[in-house]
Each structure stands twice: as C-alpha cells, then as structure tokens.
Amino acid sequence: QVQLVESGGGLVQAGGSLRLSCAASGRTFSSYAMGWFRQAPGKEREFVATITWSGGSTYYADSVKGRFTISRDNAKNTVYLQMNSLKPEDTAVYYCAAVRRDWGLPGTEYEYDYWGQGTQVTVSS
C-alpha cells in the first residue's frame, strides 16, 4: 500500500511558477513509477507527466512540455512537479499517482494503482 499526499497548489498569475510536491508513505517508494495528472472543471482527467522509479527517464504531455519538470527524491519519498510559465488553461486539480513498475513510463490513468487527494492550482489572467 502507498499513500500519497499532494501539496503546493495555490493561486498564481499567468506567467508565474509553482512547485507541487507529492509525499509518499512506505519503504518501497523507489520501486514505483510516479505520475502527475490534472482535471479541470467539466473535463476529464488528463496526463501531465511521468517519471521512472530511478528518475532516469521522464515523459510529458505536449501541452506542458518545456514548461513543467517532474523530478523525484527517493531518499525523501517525494515527487515534484515544477511548473513555470503558467497559463490560465493550466488551472485544474492536480493529482499524483503511483504504480509499482521497474520499466516504462505509464502515460494513462488506468496504469496507476494509487492516487492522492489532489491539490488545486488556479492561474489568473
């Protein structure tokens, strides 16, 4: 079992930055691939970014590529999402997710087994 708790959301002006954190419980965090997803009002949840268990590989949605960076610190059981050059269309609830996997970059929500409760990000124009 893995429990995930996101933090770092808030209100920011367009062009600003935020860093989201996702703290995971459990001693086997380093065995899990991690991902970030988001859901805007009235829309389906969508993939944002994913990172392998080692942090050696990452993959991003086209909509955030070049602006967002996913990273992890296995010693702290934490995964991060650095969000720069934020746009109003980035407004959403952001969720982190985990799946025990030592290969690949899971890019769909169906591949993940554990989810956090979400943190709200609001970008004003």
pLDDT at 27 over 80: no
Read off the pLDDT band of 28 (50, 70, 90).
confident
pLDDT value of position 29:
84
Strand partners, 88: none
- The DSSP 8-state label assigned to residue 57 in this structure reads -
Read off the pLDDT band of 30 (50, 70, 90).
confident
Q: Give the tokens for residue 5.
A: 């708790």
Torsion of CA 105, 23, 117, 81, to 10 degrees: -50
- Residue pLDDT, tens place only, 84-105: 999 999 999 999 999 998 888 9
Write down the mean pLDDT value for the chain.
Answer: 95
Q: Give the residue carrying structure tokens 């860093």.
A: 19
